[in-house]
Chains A and B, each alone.
Chain A
Amino acid sequence: MDAIETLPIQQLDAFKGVKKVPLEEYFTSGHRTCQGCESALVMKLMVKAAGPRTIVLGSTGCMYVANTTYYSTSWVVPWMHTQLGSSGSAGLGTAAALKALMRKGKMKEEPINVIAFCGDGGGADMGLSAISATLTHPQYNVLILLYDNESYANTDIQLSGMTPYGAHTTFSPPGKAKRLMHTRWKKNMAGMLAAGHPETKYVGTVCASYAVDMMNRVRKALMIGGPTFVHSLDPCPKGWDYDPMLSHELGELAVETGIWPLYEVENRVLKLYGRSKGIAEKRSKRKPVRDYLLRQGRFAHFTDDDIDYFQAKIDDMWEKWLIPGVIPFWKELEKDQPPA
């Protein structure tokens, strides 16, 4: 069998510290996002890491609507809108087109990064099959970045498959008769894609509160070749209902409480990194989830029982899962006991 041929790839070495990060911005000011929008920060850091020879494709969501209102943009690099569920297809198609144009000599052969981003609604709900399909095409270099603010935030906070247990959304207002209207648990996207696409060379989770770590994961994913996937957890002042000043701190708390594990599967090797590594190796203690939950209006209706249940589920993730924080298989059956 012939070796898989991919286009040449840019050399994007890891930034060795915050002082080595380039000053240039490729996603700049003047977008209509919320104050303290962590997803806008993810866009900025993502293209800062990728550099100027990058094409960005964006499926519908906040990062499309707010960043490119009529005849107006904040992008310095070329950017194109694609439909809500098609970040995977658009990314793959663009990478394939570049390859064909270069093969036919219609375009100078040079390494160009292709990044397709999607929100949790566009990526984890609607676009899941297209992302999955893209990850099975090893001959195209494309990064799919999922910015996860845990709801359909653009259209005013409808719940998505990524909305955490019990959270208040437009579709799940807490009531007097029924306190918790949303009792489904968040999908494990990165774990699912890593486990389900064994030939994919890079799947990672990131959080922009750890900016250099995050940019270096984007660089790895772009440099390793073939289709890759990065999942970012983005605190959202609008939908999570908190003071925008807390965006950075809530990202840190999500990691420190163990709710958001930071890991990467690089050439099939799993590594936890940052605070999550310490947590997995039991070198650092997880903060109580209460510290994270009670800072957000979307959990303001939680009783102590609800908080305890949330805590127990996170404890399970680190203590009972076959691969803690990553793969939710259990070694033996135990009964789930949600609060009354």
Chain B
Amino acid sequence: MGRLFAVEIVYRGIFQKNLAKNISRGIALAAKHDGKVGISFGRYGDSPERNGIPAKNFAIVATDDETLQEGMAKYEPKEVDISISVDDTLCKGVESWAWYGLQPINRLLKPGGTLIVTTMHGADPIITMCHRKEFPYRLALLTSIPSFSGLWVYKDDHTDVRLLGAIAKVLPDLFSLTSVEKAIREEWHDELKVKSAQKAYERISTRVVSPAEGNPEKPYEFELPKWYELREGLAIPSIPAGKAMADPTTQQTGGFRPDRNPTFKKYATRTMRPVVDFDTCVKCTLCWLQCPDSCFDVTPDAYYDANMEACCGCGVCEAVCPVTNCITMVNETAFADNASQWEMWKKDKAGYQTWLQEKIQHKPERSHGFRIRGQYEQQIGTMVKDGIVDTGTSGAGG
């Protein structure tokens, strides 16, 4: 038997669909130049994808046909040599279409496997977000603003080829940098992309993460009835109507908190969250009324508190809010829990202001998809100038 390699790419649905496809396809092509055989495929259960909801692509590579066939006989890999998280907020856990409950980003990693994350952060904040693993694994960081675009217009910021270069460094047994270069020339006919892959190969750094490091929480999970245990007519219970809320300081009750689907929370979809300045809120109702996810709880004193178990971070509330800087979308990496902002504000208004001012410094450097024609070109130009991406067109970045 030959050797079998598996790589998974965990990505944000739709936003990174084309990116993930380019990476897994690139892996199979580079492996071919290394004398191996490979295949790239999307996870069936993740389709149809939805914007932001985590999804997966896999690349399976083997040293010979027979080993590849054996590897492909499984529905999907049970363990992988490399997990790639193309958005750092996915490190908080993955709740996809295909299963119920939250799964750690490093769940499928083999002992000694490598998690590659594209991020602007250093190792410590990333490790804090990842759930603990029972054995040591390696973490490799690719400095990059997580690349987000949409179905039709691709933001070609070279994240795809930079990851191929990074893989050649962390797992040279899979393929060499030379094979990556050949694959890029064959697939994209672009010398700048070759250069980007080489630079990523040179710069990628790894460190070992020990079992004592990371988020100690147990990810939530659900036990659902089997199909043969369902009620007559396949009827399932509807959601209860919801009830009034209690004020933590005055014990006054009022307002309304809707009951929510208990088995899908959706917050693993979030890459940024709204932070509300209750001191400037004029109670216009628009954030609450226009929220497609009904995530706002109405408090007894008629404020609107975005419930962080339900918010998926679309940003519509910030867009409709008529008060300047009352709602600010903040990078999800700046938060460690889903606590109620309104309760925090009720208990200590001055302390909340300090907290809020600190948090809104973490405005997303990420972009959330297509806003206007020409925007991606401009963003990539800025990234080259700032030394985040070095396509070889400028001297910056070193």
Contacts and interface: CB of A to CB of B under 8 A. Distances in A.
Interface of A: 18-19, 21, 23-25, 27-38, 40-41, 44-45, 52, 65-66, 69-79, 154-157, 168, 208-209, 211, 237-239, 241-249, 294-298, 300
A228 to B, nearest CB: 24
B241 to A, nearest CB: 6
Nearest to B95: A32
Contacts of A154: 48
B152 A300 contact: yes
A275 B307 CA distance: 33
A294 B47 contact: no
Given A24-B242, A29-B261, A30-B261, 9 more contacts: A28-B259, A32-B53, A35-B50, A37-B50, A74-B239, A241-B153, A241-B369, A243-B368, A243-B370
A69 B50 CA distance: 13
Interface in B56-88: none
Given A31-B261, A247-B314, A297 B151 contact: yes
Interface stretch (B126-134, B203-211, B286-294): B286-294
Nearest to A17: B285
Nearest to B307: A29
Nearest to B368: A243
Contact of A241 (B259, B315, B370): B370
A227 to B, nearest CB: 26
B241 A76 contact: yes
A45 B294 CA distance: 10
Given A29-B295, A31-B264, A241 B316 contact: no
Interface SS of chain A: helix, strand, loop or mixed? loop
B263 A71 contact: yes
Interface in B243-287: 255-256, 258-266, 269, 284-286
Nearest to A170: B151
B314 A44 contact: no
Nearest to A34: B51
Given A74-B261, A76-B259, A34 B50 contact: yes
Interface in B170-228: 224-225
Given A19-B285, A244-B315, A76 B97 contact: no
B87 to A, nearest CB: 13
Contacts of B260: 28-30, 74
**Which 6 A/B pairs are nearest by Cβ-Cβ distance?**
A30-B261, A245-B315, A241-B150, A34-B51, A29-B310, A36-B314
A297 B155 CA distance: 11
Interface string B223-243: 011000010000010111110
A241 B149 CA distance: 8
B120 interface: no
Contacts of B153: 241, 297, 300
Contact of B370 (A19, A209, A211, A296): A296
Given A28-B294, A243-B368, A71 B224 contact: yes
B292 A44 contact: yes
Q: In the complex, which of the residues B236, B290, B314 has the most CB atoms of chain A within 10 Å of its own CB atom?
A: B314
B48 A156 contact: yes
Contacts, number: 206
Contacts of B373: 294, 300
Contacts of B329: 245
Interface residues of B, number: 66
Contacts of A300: 152-153, 370, 373
Given A28-B294, A71-B236, A297-B150, A66 B50 contact: yes
16 contacts: A18-B289, A25-B294, A28-B260, A29-B307, A33-B293, A34-B52, A35-B269, A35-B315, A37-B292, A45-B289, A69-B97, A75-B239, A76-B239, A238-B150, A245-B368, A248-B316
A211 B264 contact: no
Interface in B285-330: 285-286, 289-295, 298, 307, 310, 312-316, 318-320, 329
B336 interface: no
B316 A238 contact: no
Contacts of A79: 238
A238 to B, nearest CB: 5
Residue of B230, B236, B258, B318 contacting most chain A CB atoms (<10 Å): B258
Given A21-B289, A36-B315, A69-B97, A77 B238 contact: yes
A296 B153 CA distance: 9
Contacts of B152: 168, 241, 297-298, 300
Contacts of B262: 30
Given A69-B97, A241-B369, A32 B293 contact: no
B256 A24 contact: yes
Contacts of B293: 29, 31, 33, 40
B83 to A, nearest CB: 23
Contacts of B265: 30
Given A72-B261, A73-B239, A168-B152, A246 B266 contact: no
Contacts of B242: 24-25, 28, 76
A41 B373 CA distance: 27
A242 to B, nearest CB: 5
Contact of A36 (B51, B97, B256): B51
B49 interface: yes
A245 B153 CA distance: 17
Contact of A238 (B14, B258, B264, B320): B14
Contacts of B259: 28, 76
Given A18-B285, A72-B261, A238-B50, A32 B266 contact: yes
